[in-house]
Chains A and B, each alone.
Chain A
Amino acid sequence: EPEVTQTPSHQVTQMGQEVILRCVPISNHLYFYWYRQILGQKVEFLVSFYNNEISEKSEIFDDQFSVERPDGSNFTLKIRSTKLEDSAMYFCASSEETGGRGEKLFFGSGTQLSVL
């Protein structure tokens, strides 16, 4: 079964540094998402992306965050200047091209980000 791939699985960084989390969505999917989960708790929506632009973003997704689809396959989340509270598991997800309320999200296995 096709899957969403995320790299790296773990990322350790110093506070104030920039990090880029990478995702390869399922190839025929056109809707992409980033979520984060702190300490195994609630799964929080960050941003959705369609047709090379942000569709929706949450209040968490401030100016420190950006997303990009640089080459037609990768989907990246950049955090410009990391803070301690950015430490979390970051999940990438995608859904099928038809969109619609019934389209389930396919999740990657996540990147555990630790900010020291």
Chain B
Amino acid sequence: AQKITQTQPGMFVQEKEAVTLDCTYDTSDPSYGLFWYKQPSSGEMIFLIYQGSYDQQNATEGRYSLNFQKARKSANLVISASQLGDSAMYFCAMREGGGMETSYDKVIFGPGTSLSVIP
């Protein structure tokens, strides 16, 4: 079963505008972590932001913020003031764990959203 869903295969945004990339996830674990990674055309995987399932506040890292809605199981990435260098694939990922039958030893990725920033 698909555990991470990213419903937007491709997105366009005007430079300097904000953009939201959607991510929904499925888990029965009360303890989990959510991550966003950026993959530019050069191929490397760059960590952007992390949100823990027990965190009370939404995570922020510079121009990146995470709109975490736990009841809806969504963890949308918001990029403010888009720049041309933000054009890349963006992956939402989840690490489950902490229970008797699961461990923290696996991070699974969603299918990704390709973001293009238009000058």
Number of residues on chain B facing chain A (CB within 8 A)? 30
Q: Which of A43, A99, A106 contacts B104 (CB 8 A)?
A: A99
| Residues of A with C-beta under 8 A to B98 | 101
Q: Which of B45, B103, B112 contacts A42 (CB 8 A)?
A: B112
Tell whether, in the assembled complex, residue A45 and residue B108 are in contact, meaning their CB atoms are under 8 Å apart: yes
| Residues of B with C-beta under 8 A to A45 | 106-109
The interface residues of chain A, by DSSP majority, are classed as strand
Using an 8 Å CB-CB cutoff, how does the interface string of A5-44 with B read, 1 for contact, 0 for none?
0000000000000000000000000010101000011111
Given A40-B89, A42-B111, A48-B105: A101 in contact with B43 (beta carbons within 8 A)? no
| Residues of A with C-beta under 8 A to B31 | 101
Minimum distance in angstroms from A113 CB to a CB of chain B: 13
Minimum distance in angstroms from B108 CB to a CB of chain A: 6
| Residues of B with C-beta under 8 A to A114 | none
Bound Cα distance from A45 to B91, whole angstroms:
13
For B34, the closest partner residue in chain A by CB is A101
| Residues of B with C-beta under 8 A to A80 | none
Number of residues on chain A facing chain B (CB within 8 A)? 27
Bound Cα distance from A91 to B47, whole angstroms:
14
Bound Cα distance from A93 to B44, whole angstroms:
11
Bound Cα distance from A56 to B102, whole angstroms:
10
| Contact surface of B with A, Cβ cutoff 8 Å | 31-33, 35, 37, 39, 43-45, 47, 50, 52-53, 89, 91, 93, 95-98, 103-112
Extra contacts, 11 of them, besides A101-B33, A103-B95, A107-B44 (Cβ < 8 A), are A42-B111, A43-B109, A45-B109, A50-B105, A56-B105, A89-B43, A101-B32, A103-B104, A104-B47, A105-B47, A110-B43
